[in-house]
Chains A and B, each alone.
Chain A
Amino acid sequence: MTEEKTKSKNFTSILIPTSLYKKLEEKVKETEFSSVSSLVTHIIREYLAKLEEEKEVFSEEEEEEIKERLRALGYID
């Protein structure tokens, strides 16, 4: 598979304001990222990860359910 074909299969374009792109273009020079695209990919992944992390916090009820399981396994009394 050629590089172009791989690219078209795995990547897609999004639109962002040119002024924002220019800002990021400047910023990217101070980072380990090689391009604005990889910096933006990183930012989006971080954002999505944060949303998932917020969902991962246990409620009291959910914690009780886990404790029930640990009790059945003999891990706690």
Chain B
Amino acid sequence: MRVLVIGSDGLSPILVEKWIETLPALRKIKKQGIMGRTIPPLPAQTPVAWTTFMTGVNPGKHGIFSFMTREKGTYKRKVNTPDKIKTKTLWKILSEHDKKVGVINVPMARTEELNGFIIPGFLAKNEGIPYPTKIKEKLQGKFGIKQFKGDVEIKLLERVKEEPDKFFERVDEITDIQMDISLFLLEEEEWDFFITVFMGTDRIQHFFWKYVDERHPEYEKNEFTEKVKRYYQKMDVIISRFLENIDLEETLFILLSDHGFCPVHSEVLVNCLLHKQGFLKGDVKGEIDVEGSVAVAYEYGDVWLNLKGREPQGKIKPEEYGEILQKIKKNLEKIEVDGQKVVKYVATRDVYWGPYVEEAPDLIILFNSGWQASRGKSKEYKTQKCIVKSEKWNGGHDGTHDPRDVPGILAILGHGIPEGLEVEANLYDLTPTILKILQVPIPNYMDGKPIQQIFTS
């Protein structure tokens, strides 16, 4: 048995359901196989979610809690890059059991010595550089490229509003190149496990979600609605191309996304709230006094307390920690705008388990659909209004929403797969499921369990 996984970052099960009549490949899978949902980890963010998928464990065991973290024993904000992952990847485990693997553009997947090849994805140091070198040579021979980065360039991202057509064109172009490269390596290389992850859905939806989700207060059906739909149809064509290139009698096909989306119309300046509530103070320059404050928040609704013995200039005694934590949590959970609750709940580290729990933020705010922690204004704390209109994004998921409000998609097709079944699985169930299909022992430390419905017949 072999396993082929097509990943699509942020592909929304809501939109698939809505447009299913125009998506023949997905309609076929829904009828002949499993169509369901993946529940992302908390927070439902690309780096956390893909790491959870590829390790089979919760963030307390793999150590990635967000895009960014606070460096231990400092107040320094650092990017969480793949070298910080503490647990083995699915492809490493498979390689150790002599299974051949092919890994393309998975966010947080980095160069590793594998029994096969890898093209590292988003956030990896060697993003897009194939390893080993023979793969680089093959791509150069066939496509004339030494490197493949499956993401839109910074310059275009910065001008999405001014030049939306250029943005969509470039996303299409990158998607096409990735499909060609993936199909070529699928044919050319030996593999027991093959994965390729497309980023287009995520990038498009962050900027254009309000044109496809009627729940958004600024929902408007226009040319962008059609453009997003057309990209879903493109992904459907890609799925059908992969299905044409495998034998379903001996290969299990899995389509998955790491999270979905929900509307975002307003941004919450969490530090402004903490300031008004007396937990945060400013310095003489008018900036946030991180060292002098009790608590500080960052872009993802992650709140860090200033604890004695842990932070260099700690302000709270360990015995006060629990009480202050609860106070901040309660205050944030109370906020309402026009009678609507802004915060769904505030999570503490108790949601995690494992040796790296202490690297998690002290609190994570999960907003109700529509609100998110401010990115662009996360450092503003003195403003009159702590809740403002969201300018850059109108669709979100990442780190500021309940994972259950932004599920990803899970579609499975293959020999013996029950027809027309709906399944819901945690993202960390996928690695144990794939190990079981490939008859590789599942390590005891894994949190996920194989998806039983696959193995019923």
Chain A interface (Cβ within 8 Å of chain B)? 42, 45-46, 48-49, 51-53, 55-58, 62-63, 66-70, 72-77
29 A-B pairs, CB-CB below 8 angstroms? A42-B96, A45-B113, A48-B113, A49-B92, A49-B112, A51-B113, A52-B112, A52-B113, A55-B111, A55-B125, A56-B81, A56-B82, A56-B110, A56-B126, A57-B83, A57-B125, A58-B81, A58-B83, A63-B79, A66-B79, A68-B154, A72-B154, A72-B155, A73-B157, A73-B203, A74-B206, A75-B67, A75-B299, A76-B299
Closest to B202 in A: A73
In the complex, whether B123 has a CB less than 8 A from a CB of chain A is yes
Q: Do B95 and A45 touch (CB < 8 A)?
A: yes
Chain B residues in 8 Å Cβ range of A74: 157, 206, 375-376, 392-393
- In the docked arrangement, what's the CA distance between A37 and B157, Å? 50
A72 touching B125 by the CB < 8 A rule?
no
Q: Are A76 and B67 in contact (CB under 8 A)?
A: yes
In angstroms, how far is the closest chain B Cβ from the Cβ of A72?
Answer: 4
Expressed in whole angstroms, the Cα–Cα distance for A49 and B124 within the complex equals: 15
Whether B158 sits at the interface, judged by CB under 8 Å, is yes
Known contacts A45-B96, A45-B113, A74-B375; is-contact A53 B83 (Cβ 8 Å): yes
CB-nearest residue of chain B to A68: B154
The digit string for B123-137, where 1 denotes a CB below 8 A from any CB of A, is: 111100001000000
Using Cβ atoms and an 8 Å threshold, which residues of chain B touch A55? 111, 125-126
A45 to chain B: which residues have CB within 8 Å? 95-96, 113, 115
If over half of A's interface residues share one DSSP class (helix, strand or loop), that class is named, otherwise mixed; here it is: helix
Known contacts A48-B113, A74-B392, A76-B67; is-contact A63 B78 (Cβ 8 Å): yes
Whether the pair B157, A77 counts as a contact (CB closer than 8 A) is: no
- Asked whether B446 is an interface residue with its Cβ less than 8 Å from the other chain, the reply is no
Residues of B within 8 A of A (CB): 67-68, 78-79, 81-83, 92, 95-96, 110-113, 115, 123-126, 131, 154-155, 157-158, 203, 206, 299, 374-379, 392-393, 398
- Smallest Cβ distance from B237 to chain A, in angstroms? 26
Please measure, in the bound complex, the distance between the C-alpha atom of A53 and the C-alpha atom of B203, giving whole angstroms: 29
Report chain A residues within 8 Å CB of B374: 77
Q: Is the CB of A76 within 8 A of B81?
A: no
User: Given the complex, which residues of B lie within 8 Å of A56, measured CB to CB?
Assistant: 81-83, 110-111, 124-126
Given A74-B392, A77-B299: A62 and B112 interface contact (C-beta under 8 Å): no
7 closest A-B pairs by CB: A48-B113, A49-B113, A72-B154, A72-B157, A56-B83, A74-B392, A77-B376
In addition to A66-B79, A68-B154, A75-B398, 12 A-B residue pairs with Cβ atoms within 8 Å of each other are: A42-B96, A45-B115, A51-B113, A53-B83, A56-B81, A66-B81, A70-B79, A72-B154, A72-B158, A73-B206, A77-B299, A77-B378
